[in-house]
């Protein structure tokens, strides 16, 4: 929530169904840095975030929505690395299983 990356839906009953957007309640500086990091992450096909971005786009999500999801993923990975004081492992979920 501090980063301001949570989605917000605009609904009012059944008559108003607008497109969702990211809330702008968090740190604007952090959001800008995450945006630039996400842009660079999806450009490079060799890193861990490119495949996730492509999967979002192939499922029909708009590119900005997919980029917002990558921003959220970057912040979660960074938090996990800092919390557990371990280096980043690309396929960590597959190693645990």
Q: pLDDT category, 92, cuts 50, 70, 90?
A: low
pTM of the model: 0.77
Residue 19: is its pLDDT beyond 60?
yes
pLDDT at 81: 87
d(CA 10, CA 66): 19
Q: How is the chain classified by DSSP, letter by letter?
A: -TT---EEEEEETTTEEEEEEE---S-HHHHHHHHHHHHHHHH-TTSTTHHHHHHHHHTT--HHHHHHHHHHHHHHHHHHHHHHT----TTHHHHH-
Give 1's pLDDT tier (boundaries 50, 70, 90). Answer: low
pLDDT above 80: residue 10? no
Domain boundaries, the chain: 28-84
Euclidean distance between CA atoms 62 and 48, whole angstroms = 20
What are 31's two structure tokens?
């959001």
The neighbour count for residue 69, using CB atoms within 10 Å, is: 19
- Which pLDDT belongs to residue 97? 44
Tens digit of pLDDT for each residue in 25-82? Answer: 888 898 899 999 999 999 988 887 898 899 999 998 888 888 988 999 999 888 888 9
Band (pLDDT 50/70/90 cuts) for residue 13 is low
């Amino acid at each position: 929530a501090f980063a301001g990356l949570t989605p917000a839906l605009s609904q009012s009953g059944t008559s108003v169904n607008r497109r969702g957007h990211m809330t702008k309640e968090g740190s604007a500086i952090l959001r800008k840095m995450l945006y630039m990091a996400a842009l660079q992450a999806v450009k490079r096909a060799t890193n861990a975030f490119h495949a996730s971005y492509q999967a979002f786009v192939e499922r029909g999500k708009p590119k900005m929505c997919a980029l917002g999801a990558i921003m959220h993923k970057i912040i979660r990975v960074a938090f996990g690395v800092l919390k557990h004081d371990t280096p980043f492992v690309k396929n960590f979920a597959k190693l645990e299983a």
